Amino acid sequence: MKTQTALCQEQQATRSARERSDLARGYPLAVASAIILSTTAIFIRYLTQTYNMPALVLAFWRDSFVALTMLIVLVILHPRLLRAERRHVGYLVAYGLMLTMFNSFWTLSVSLNGAAVSTVLVYSSAAFTALLGKWLLKERLGWVKLVTIAGCLGGCILVSGVLEPGAWQGNLTGILTGTLSGLWYAGYSLMGRSASQRGLNPWTTLLYTFAFAACFLLLLNLSLGKFLPGAAVGPADLLWLGKAAWGWFILFLLAAGPTVAGFGLYNVSLGYLPSSVANLILTLEPAFTAVIAYLVLGEHLNGIQIAGSLLILAGVVFLRVYESRHSTQVLTTPQTSTPCTSPQLPAPHI
């Protein structure tokens, strides 16, 4: 009996140590992802303002260049990662479709609601991810995550400036579109976590999801371009930038830089963190974007935006401290009354 109890305690200690190790690895990756992704809006704003580039055309080329960049990098550095097992192909197609829907609804939300309102609505994904993660992936959803969700969403509202008069002038269609963009973003996060649990390499996943998303966006532009705002009205509109070499360079830089590195690190972090936690950390992105816009574009940060940034940061730090203490308490708490069971093997971290 003593031997069994000791074995149970050893297994519990091993699981707790692994959990703390995952937190120590996952949090820096997710924060780095948020910092890198926060530069995306700067590139997109430059392209849309300088060249008036349609949003869905921009999204198509962005995804295409991401897939091309990943293909070149993997061919040179890790050719074995180009191979995807046949049993995973259907899943990757669905994952790419999820990314397509998120990109499409988000860009439509921006065109209908403006940047401020669409930012708040897309980060409703933090709440969607937590709820769906509990339902689909059996992730824990306690009072700490609920408090963090409230704090992060509140911070996003303050940073985006939707409290200013006239910010909410969109119609019901616009608000619904923005909310759906948050729902699709939550689905993207959950599929990323599921891909990690399936043993898919995050960089292989990134290559195929963006490649499939580029194909879907091409079909979307060619088939529904006349009906969707921000899409290509005709095939010629796909070459919107024409001979503007600098515009093409900025577009390629957008894909090869913040998109590949940002989404890549986010996918890697999902191998260590629950999707709800990773998505909450990503709510740091609007705060980082506001700071970068101030430094690069000279945009003014008012007191409300600074307060919102601090609120988001406080929520993420609070969640990190609690998760770390929780795993430590589990490690030190005796498990004498709990029957010993075989430990569950963790998802492979590649």
Whether the Cβ atoms of residue 53 and residue 46 lie closer than 8 Å to each other? no
Question: Is the pLDDT higher at 4 or at 261?
Answer: 261
256 versus 328: the higher-pLDDT residue is 256
Tens-digit pLDDT profile for residues 195-229: 877 888 888 988 999 999 999 999 988 887 777 77
Alpha-carbon torsion 191, 193, 197, 203, what sign?
A: positive
| Predicted confidence (pLDDT) per residue in 154-167, tens digit | 776 776 666 666 65
More confident residue, 314 or 242: 242
| Average pLDDT score over residue span 174-183 | 78
Where do we find the tokens 């091409």?
218
Q: Give the residue with greater pLDDT, 250 vs 13.
A: 250
The pLDDT of residue 3 is 63
Q: What is the CB neighbour count within 10 angstroms for residue 85?
A: 12
- Give pLDDT, residue 13: 54
DSSP, collapsed to helix, strand or coil, labels residue 172 as helix
Q: Are 144 and 319 in contact (CB under 8 A)?
A: yes
Closest CA to 242 of 112, 10, 95, 52: 52
Residue 334 has a pLDDT of 47
Backbone dihedral region for residue 234 (phi beyond 0: left; psi -120 to 50: alpha; all else: beta): beta
pLDDT band per the 50, 70, 90 thresholds, residue 340: very low
Q: How many CB atoms are located within 10 Å of the residue 5 CB? A: 14
Dist CA 184 CA 178 (whole Å): 10
- Nearby residues of 259 by Cβ (< 8 Å), 6 or more positions away: 37, 40, 62, 66
- Report whether pLDDT(75) > 90: yes
Structure tokens at 28: 């820096």
3-class DSSP state of 300: coil
| Distance of alpha carbon 107 from alpha carbon 119, whole angstroms | 11
Tokens 């939707």 — which residue? 162
SS3 169: coil
pLDDT of residue 207: 92
Alpha helices by DSSP H, listed for the chain, are 2-37, 40-51, 55-77, 86-113, 115-122, 125-136, 143-160, 172-197, 202-224, 245-254, 260-269, 275-281, 285-292, 303-332
Q: Does this model's pTM top 0.75?
A: no
- Distance (Å, rounded) from C-alpha 4 to C-alpha 117? 57
**pLDDT band of 233, cuts 50, 70, 90:** confident
